[in-house]
Structure 1
Amino acid sequence: MAAGAPRIFVSHLAGVPVFDPAGDQVGRVRDLVVMLRVGRRPPRVLGLVVELSTRRRIFLPMTRITGVESGQVITTGVVNVRRFEQRPTERLAFGELLDRRVKLVETGEEVTVLDVSVQQLPARRDWEVDRVFVRKGRKGSAFRRAKGETLTVEWSAVTGFSLEEHGQGAESLLATFEQLRPADLANVLHHLSAKRRAEVAAALDDDRLADVLEELPEDDQIEILGKLAEERAADVLEAMDPDDAADLLAELPEADKERLLSLMQPADAADMRRLMSYEEHTAGGLMTTEPIVLRPDSTVADALARVRNQDLSPALAAQVYVCRPPDETPTGKYLGTVHFQRLLRDPPYTLVSSLVDDDLQPLAPGATLPVIAGFFATYDMVAAPVVDESGSLLGAVTVDDVLDHMLPDDWRETEFHLDEGEGATTHGS
């Protein structure tokens, strides 16, 4: 980037694509690494944390960046794909600077950091954090944005960044990542400190936190749930997919599990207990108890209206299950499955009972993981009904749940092997 280039506020860099000189995308910006300095000297920007397509996070030194413009970052093309590990002297701009409460040097007034800007030094390749965008007044809450005057000041005009803050907010961090999918936001949380992870979890609404928890490793799930008030923890568990919530509950001490179940709605608690009664790696243990269930006299229009529910995963929306009353699982007699593509081919007034695929054998609740995987591979399915000996539909297993249990426990932390190539830089160089 040429000398004298305009300053860039770091919130504008969140998720920005990183390209090599040939125009191939390397990854996306997930954070900036800065080093605080003694006194009021502006922090030096060491580099970017870049997430590759394989979800590995690497360090990209600022010396390897040739351009930051038009919503993109251009590199020299030489990168080190070693996993990024934060050093004790380093701070993450998104994860640790935003939302911090600091003081204005001149008045001693407490303000909240909303953003910071960076700028390249003239005639050098070094970058610094030069200004801080702050808001006066009280800190906002998870449900209400605080009001107050905002202003941009020089870095030297504030103090408090070097102090460990208790109760740091998460408002601006969440605003920065509000467009991320749950799996990507989960990845962000996983790489934050335990303190910061708890603050962000506290600021998320129940549905969003439930979606994110489903994508986190088990240790992170337990840690976050344990730091929530019990009533809220129960609400979040109710908002999760029943099979994921049951898996999480099963990992808790018996006393904690029973206490949370007692705080849940009776119907939801009953679903959890039923799911936990099955062996973990069986169809009963993997299934969700909330598939789309329709009565025989329902129409294609009724089915499509249910499929359109945006809260359904693509796998669950791929088919509906036709059963006699009651409609809630365990249902009355299971009659068959109607696939989404078949719903698109028939008139809206057609009864679903005339479209059922009754040749497809459902899974038994005791079916093992290899049997379930073989079912999906044989019939090219993304979801499968689970039916008990009496013929009642108990739930449905989706292919994503099968993959979660077939992959290694640390699959979220495992990437494809990449060739580092020649001339790879080292972190901090």
Structure 2
Amino acid sequence: MDDSSNTNATTAMPQKNHSYDDHIDHHFHSNISQRHQHSTTTILPLNSIIIIIISIISLVLILSIFLIIVMLRRLKSVKKHGSCKENSGIHNTSSRFIAPTTIDLNASPADVKGNCLYGGSMRKPASAYRGVQVFTYKELEFATDNFSEANVIGNGGSSVVYKGVLADGTVAAIKRLHRDRKQGERAFRMEVDLLSRLNSPYLVELLGYCADQHHRLLIFEFMPNGTLQQHLHHPSSEYRPLDWGSRLRIALDCARALEFLHEHATPTVIHRDFKCTNVLLDPHLRAKVSDFGLAKMGSDKTNGQISTRVPRTAGYLAPEYASTGKLTTKSDVYSYGVVLLQLLTGRVPLDIKRPPGEHVLVSWALPRLTNRDKVDDMVDPAIQGQYSKKDLIQVAAIAAMCVQPEADYRPLMVDVVQSLIPLAKNFNSVNSPGFLRFHRQSSGLKY
């Protein structure tokens, strides 16, 4: 029994150990499997994050390269077409200032046809402001019937002015400068520069220009009543004599034009050649100042004066300007005074056909302007009886101040304007038929 019992016990022991070992082995493998699964679940998200980061970096690099390529192409395009960029400007319907353009007279005809000259983009602007346009020589030939003599409306030493009809039907005055004249070239540059920046109802409007090869032409608004010179000194069926009311308004318009140039233009502009032939009249006999070829800008001034070559316009030059060449705004005031004397007397500034002592208008008129008894005798016979003695004396006093030999004694143009406004407003419209016609068809000018 003992042996049997031992045998059974011995036989039973290995079975018990085998079951324990199986449990341990199962637990061990289960732990390994769990650690493997945990390791796998830990590694997979890390790989995904790395892949996402690499993808984002690659995308950013591709976008950066693309943007760099686009910017380089645009920069190349700007350099290529930089001469056609439009300068920014300020536009005002009453007194427009347009940023100055850079003049390039060596541009090819292709630049003209492409509306890319003087460094400005000549895109067609809004209808409220047409802007300065570029014309080809062929277009202006067509507009003037091949510059026909029948269309000549003015002839000066450096240019010929033609009446023309542009392609859009606009009637214009086309000024053709003579070739091979350095002064004409300078005048062309100055007029384009100034009138493309400055605009006032009292300045003639520049519609466009042509710099096609060696041709230099300026296109202005057409003024159907010609020049003040024609009305005062060459009256005809086309250019009738001016009545007193019209002369007052013309004097005020001219004063406003010079006031604008001296006080409101930036920089200050000195006309330097103000005279009757440069005063144009519109359909309502309202005046606009033209011809800025000899103008000077205030940026050239030193202590308020500009050293410059004196133009050859006898009778209009201020004494200090004629003798020293020193130019100030008071030089324009003197020239204005001479024009005012012409409006008052109907005489030309220099007339050697008159008796001794009357050759020079200013010298003859100055001692009479402040004499109440003699001022009546100075008045142009064409307007006698149309004015009041009080108004005549005031106009004479203004003229006397403007033509003072000493520049410091001359008034500013703003003071001249303020003095003339009440005279023009209070004038009896019955004595000036053109006054009522003007108000029925107002051109927008003010007193």
- Comparing both structures, which one devotes a greater share of its residues to helix? 2
TM range (shorter): under 0.3
For the pair shown, which has the larger CA radius of gyration, 1 or 2? 2
TM-score by length of 1: 0.26
- Comparing both structures, which one devotes a greater share of its residues to strand? 1
TM-score by length of 2: 0.26
